[in-house]
Chain A
Amino acid sequence: MTTLPAPFDSWFATRGWDIHPHQEAMLDQACAPALMLIAPTGGGKTLAGFLPSLIELCNGTHSGLHTLYVSPLKALAADIKRNLRTPVAEMDLPIRIEDRTGDTSYTQKRKQRADPPHILLTTPESLALLLSYEDAPRIFKGIQRVIVDEIHALAESKRGDQLMLALSRLQALAPDLRRVGLSATVEDPAAIAAQLARHPDPCQIINADPGPDPDIRMLVTQEKPPWTGGGAKYAIPAVLDAVRQHKTTLIFHNTRAQAEIFFHHLWLANTDDLPIGIHHGSLAREQREKVEAAMVAGQLRAIVCTGSLDLGIDWGDVDLVIQVGAPKNVKRLVQRIGRANHRYNAPSKALLVPANRFEVVECVAALEAVKDRDLDGDPKGPGPRDVLCQHILIAACAGPFHDADLFAEIKTVGAYRDLTRAAFDDCLDFCATGGYALRAYDKWKRLLQNADGRWQLRDPRAAQRIRMNIGTIQDTDTLKVRLKGNFKPLGEVEEAFAATLTPGDTFLIGGQIVRYESLKEMTVQVSRRADKTPKIATFMGTKFANSTQLSRRILSMFEQPDWPQLPGHTAEWLALQRDVSKLPEADRILVESFPHEGRHHMCVYGFAGRNAMQTLGMLLTQRMEEVGLHPLGFVATDYATLVWGLDPVTDPTPLFDPHNIRADFETWLSGNAVMKKTFRGAATIAGLIERNLPQTRKTGRQATFSSDILYDTLTKYDPDHLMLRITREEAMRGLVDFSRIEEMLARTAGRIDHITLERVTPLSLPMLLERGRIPVAGAAQERIMEEEAARLMIAAGVGKL
């Protein structure tokens, strides 16, 4: 039993708190080189992480940086700063706490480098940036602990890989560094622990009491959910009722666009003027901060939000979480629910709001999985090499290095423990010379070996450009939105969306309707407008694939003769589908063909998750193109792929021949949009494409050419290049997800049911309104472009050119 120093003891006593067993265990194990705590949200996780630091620092003898706290969100760092300063002030401890994120001012950042605080709160990107400075050894000298918060979220992405590489650097600068990870409930804690610890150090895992089961239900409304769409507008009155009955409600959405639309409708229906705010990643910082402050001050009754609030920000008295739209993934649902009720021993309360009939089914499946404590997850592959390339460039920014030292350091990172010297040399060669078969850059290498064999930048000025492009978050190109004549941005929209706007169009941002005026110096100029129905801001937002396990639950639900666990309207809908067509089965592929709006449609129910269904769409349309069926495009959801084209598919069976699919897959991989997108991501992370340039362009004159050109050129002239190998491997795992197509082919073994119908079926209906339609660039596209051009020429009176 650890005894707390007196100020801590009395501080706990005045608050009437007892130290939690897991907080005590963290203190007992404070000397461990690596330690991971698994605790539900609200379990005093953050305090458990910081308590050892506060105790070590309370006598005021440590100078310089002691503890580095890394969180995936800027907002979380700011929030922790607030929450940590309170006990420190109340106990009057001599501890300086500061945060450092992309939002921190330039002067503040300079000050922090010269005189680091005791506790620095930051993000993986800001840490990587700090490590790229020549004075990194001085900044981090004497650091004792690093706390990685919400490590379960980081561990799923390249941000986690970058962070762990940064920690290996940090450990080299400060060999006594102890690592602490804080995680929500996950399905495989040992895997995350192995990523956190310095390989091959062990990492002890402390499990907090998971607390009582959550009180979670599906929202029952008078009105039926619609057949299709993702807005859940029908549920607005019921959601408002729920908000009224609770102190503070978080209303989660899966995408930013849905959050904006829902917020807009909520506001229109909000006759009692309940204070309700909106929060998502595309809003300007000032806007987000205003909402966060109002929330902390208890001034808001509800907040409409997205994944940007997924993580452990302490919003105080949240007593209800509403999830709008199907949760897609049970683990994330459980973590979101945990946001309600921060009192440790009270059950969290949550409501699921399905946006359409199919989501009713998904929600019920998810509820059953939560009840069974059946979490889902996929094992992670080895450490990505594009992140490694960036790490090498960052190391070069900080100063000359020996390749052997850097390689040894990288091998201590769990995810890179199996990295071969040859693979490392490939990455180093890519950073130094571009790694091309045509050794064209002998004169202009990025990295050179100096006289003592250490690697350094050829041109030290390149460091600035490398620093500007640090990070692994793949944001789509966005443009700032500003009110005309006002400097303050309202938020951001995607470039592709901005390109579709013509002056006079209206769209939603931050809950206001604005009118598009012009595009000026890469900023969208708007004016305020309140009298029109808006066009919709198409933020992409991350789309998650339904987990294998949820898909399986849904398919087995379809086997039931009737569905007592589903609301009547949804049960009737499934019955109708069974009546006019068929319900999909786990061991067969259902294919429906029907005409719609002058195009032939084919809907394939494979239940392999969004990414694999997308790949299937690519493969099917490629084969259809080859046999002259003129496919025009497709759209994929977690359960089905809908393909449309100029000609009908009369016999789909050959399309699903596993032999054909695998052969097509090989040829397809080289030339498709998903690969190009994956390439763009990997090439940006590895430093081949710069996202940010030193000076912002004044006009769009001769804008940069697209990364697709680079991809095509490499594929043609240097098909074995490192970037293409990385792209391929990554696409197989992530966006392509061919493994789940294989799984689908295996479970269905050529059993295909083809049903030809006169019209859209109940189950295919939601597919028609699904966003993210992908056009097929083939003969049909050319035909339509030519027809459209001919029509315009005739309309312009120059048809006989």
Chain B
Amino acid sequence: MNSLHFTFCDTRCIALPSGALHLPEHGILCVSDLHLGKSDRIARRSGVMLPPYEMQATLQKLEADIAQTRPSKVICLGDSFDDLHAATSLPEDILLWLAAMQAGREWVWIEGNHDPGPVNLGGVHLAELQVGVLVFRHIATDADAEISGHYHPKHSIAGRSRPAFLYDETRLIMPAYGAYTGGLRSTTPVLRNVFKKAPIAILTGRRAIAVPV
């Protein structure tokens, strides 16, 4: 398998090479920063029309991860939509696709800084979610046992940079899952300061690879 098993706050975790996190004991699949509708927002704001296929690319990836892990609960960890306009004007086929993936499982939209308001879609919309000892929220705080997103971390080894999970004993930060998302180097102070000591990075890509930062 190309996934990587590790333990975070006494919870068994599997980092998928796609950038999703699987918690088999809880039947949870967690993804962060999908930024659906990003190309639409860019076109609206700037006139630049990027290839309008990022939602397909992102949802295809998600669909494959769901098929592989069969979660009973999917948590989208904030910034699932690039802005509220994008969330409220999704094309019909995307809505149907989302609905199909939501069928038969719980679906949680955690609010992010890009999508703070209520979303008119299936699933529950929460500011944060507690599951056992773990708390899921969009932006990291000082709390313990916290899984968050927001920063789009990436890390490089042997000269290649990839989106990456970062974690230490108390905190786990997810990579951005959306197709059109940039990254923030794991060594930048704003990201580095989130951790009390040097975290471990798990690089995404063909295989999930762990490395100390």
Residue numbers of A with Cβ under 8 A of B are 433-434, 436, 438, 440-441, 443-444, 446, 457-459, 462, 465-466, 687-690, 699-706, 709-710, 713-714, 716-718, 721, 775, 777, 781-782, 784-786, 788-789, 792-793, 795-796, 798, 801
A795 contacts across to B, CB distance below 8 A: 212
A256 to B44, CA, bound (A): 41
Q: Is the CB of B209 within 8 A of A785?
A: yes
What are the 8 A-B residue pairs with the smallest beta carbon separation, nearest first? A434-B49, A440-B52, A462-B47, A444-B43, A717-B53, A796-B212, A705-B182, A789-B211
**Interchain CA distance A444-B190 in the complex, whole Å:** 35
> How far does the Cβ of A773 sit from chain B's closest Cβ, in whole Å?
11
CB of B58, distance to nearest CB on chain A (Å): 10
In the complex, the answer to whether B48 meets A687 with C-beta atoms within 8 Å is yes
CA distance A433 to B50 in the complex (A): 10
Contact (Cβ within 8 A) B43 A716:
no
Picked from B39, B57, B200, B207, the residue with its CB within 8 Å of the CB of A782 is B207
A444 touches B44 (CB 8 A): yes
Known: A701-B190, A801-B210. 15 other contacts (CB 8 A): A434-B52, A436-B49, A436-B51, A436-B52, A440-B52, A444-B43, A446-B47, A702-B151, A702-B183, A702-B184, A703-B183, A705-B182, A710-B50, A789-B211, A801-B6
> For A777, what are the chain B residues with a Cβ–Cβ distance below 8 Å?
160
Chain A residues positioned under 8 Å from B152 (CB to CB): 702
The chain B residue sitting closest to A791, CB to CB, is B211
Distance in angstroms between the alpha carbons of A689 and B42 in the assembled complex = 11
Contact with A along B18-57 (1 / 0, CB 8 A): 0000000000000000000001100110111111111011
Give residues 160-175 of B contacting A (CB, 8 Å).
160
Whether A789 contacts B210 by the Cβ 8 Å rule is: yes
A-B contact pairs, 10 of them (CB 8 A): A446-B48, A687-B48, A688-B50, A700-B184, A700-B185, A709-B179, A716-B53, A781-B160, A785-B157, A788-B157
Return the contact of A793 from the options B49, B183, B210 (Cβ within 8 A): B210
Chain B residue nearest in CB terms to A694: B46
Asked if B181 and A702 sit within 8 Å, CB to CB, the answer is yes
* A462-B46, A785-B160 as given contacts; A710 in contact with B51, CB under 8 Å: yes
CB-contact partner of A714 in B51, B157, B207, under 8 A: B51
Q: Using CB atoms, name the residue of chain A closest to B211.
A: A789
A364 to B34 CA separation, bound complex (whole angstroms): 60
Enumerate chain B residues within 8 angstroms of A788, measured Cβ to Cβ.
157-158, 211
In the complex, A785 Cα to B204 Cα: how many Å? 12
A716 to B57 alpha-carbon distance, docked (Å): 9
Across the two chains, which residue of chain B brings its CB closest to A434? B49
CB distance from B115 to the nearest CB of A (A): 15
Residues of B within 8 A of A (CB): 6, 39-40, 43-44, 46-54, 56-57, 91, 151-152, 157-160, 179-185, 188, 190, 200, 203, 206-207, 209-212
A688 with B49, Cβ < 8 A, contacts A793-B210, A798-B200 known: yes
Check B51–A786 contact: CB distance below 8 A.
no
B49/A717 in contact, CB under 8 A: no
B46 contacts which chain A residues (CB < 8 A)?
462, 465, 690
* A718 engages B51 (CB within 8 Å): yes
Contacts A789-B209, A792-B212: A438 and B53 contacting too (C-beta < 8 A)? yes
Residues in chain B near residue A714, CB distance under 8 A:
51, 53
Contacting residues, chain A, for B49 (C-beta < 8 A): 433-434, 436, 441, 444, 446, 688
Q: Is the CB of B182 within 8 A of A702?
A: yes
Q: Are the CB atoms of A721 and B51 closer together than 8 Å?
A: yes
A649 to B183, CA, bound (A): 39
CB of A503, distance to nearest CB on chain B (Å): 12
Complex CA–CA separation, A443 to B86 (angstroms): 13
Contacts of A709 in B (CB 8 A): 179-180
A462 to B47, alpha carbons, bound, how many Å? Answer: 6
> Which of the residues A440, A784, A798 comes within 8 Å of B212, measured between beta carbons?
A798
> Chain B residues near A459 (CB, 8 Å)?
47
A residues near B212, Cβ cutoff 8 Å: 792-793, 795-796, 798
In the complex, are the beta carbons of A699 and B190 less than 8 A apart? yes
Closest to B43 in A: A444
Contacts of B188 in A (CB 8 A): 700-701
* Residues of chain B lying within 8 A (CB to CB) of residue A446: 43, 47-49
Write the chain A residue with the least CB distance to B4: A801
Q: A703-B183, A782-B206 are in contact. Are A717 and B157 (CB under 8 A)?
A: no
Smallest Cβ-Cβ distance to B55: which chain A residue: A440
Complex CA distance for A706 and B179, rounded to whole angstroms? 11
With A and B bound together, what is the CA distance between A716 and B51 in angstroms? 11
- Write out the residue numbers on chain B whose beta carbons fall within 8 Å of the beta carbon of A434: 43, 49-52
Given A700-B185, A701-B184, A792-B212, A775 and B157 contact (CB-CB distance below 8 Å) = no
Residues of B within 8 A of A443 (CB): 44
B158 contact from A689, A705, A781, A796, Cβ within 8 A: A781
Give A458 to B211 CA distance when docked, in angstroms: 48
A327→B156 CA distance, assembly (Å): 38
Bound Cα distance from A344 to B158, whole angstroms: 56
A687–B157 alpha-carbon span in the complex (Å):
33
Q: Is the CB of B48 within 8 A of A690?
A: yes
- Tell me whether A440 and B209 are in contact (CB under 8 A): no
Query: Which residue of A has the minimal Cβ distance to B48?
Result: A690
Tell me the minimal C-beta distance from B99 to chain A in angstroms: 20
Complex Cα–Cα for A458 and B48 (A) = 12
Q: Tell me how far the C-beta of B109 lies from the nearest C-beta in chain A, rounded to whole angstroms.
A: 20
Decide: A705 and B181 in contact? CB cutoff 8 A: yes
State whether B207 touches A786 (Cβ < 8 A): yes
**Residues of the B chain whose Cβ atoms lie less than 8 Å from the Cβ of A465:** 46-48
In whole angstroms, what is the CA distance A465 to B49 when docked?
A: 13
* Complex contact A704–B182 (CB within 8 A): yes
A614 to B17, CA, bound (A): 31
Distance A700 CA – B154 CA, assembled complex (angstroms): 12
Report chain B residues within 8 Å CB of A438: 52-53
Chain B residues within an 8 Å CB radius of A436: 49, 51-52
Please tell me which one of the listed residues A444, A458, A705, A789 contacts residue B180 in the complex, with CB atoms under 8 A apart: A705
Bound form: Cα–Cα A718–B53 in Å: 9
- Docked complex Cα distance between A443 and B211 (Å): 45
- Docked Cα-Cα span, A436 to B212, in Å, equals 42
Tell me, in angstroms, the Cα distance from A466 to B48 when the chains sit together.
10
Report the minimum CB–CB distance from B42 to chain A (whole Å). Answer: 9
Question: Closest CB-CB distance, B184 to chain A, in whole Å?
Answer: 6
Q: How far is the CB of A55 from chain B (nearest CB, A)?
A: 47
Residues of chain B within 8 A (CB-CB) of A688 are: 48-50
Determine how close the nearest CB of chain A comes to the CB of B209; give it in whole angstroms. 5
> Who on chain A is nearest to B189 by CB?
A699
Task: Indicate if the CB atoms of B40 and A444 lie closer than 8 Å.
Answer: yes
Which residues of the other chain, B, contact A784 by a CB distance below 8 angstroms? 158
Q: Which residues on A sit within 8 Å (CB–CB) of B157?
A: 785, 788-789, 792
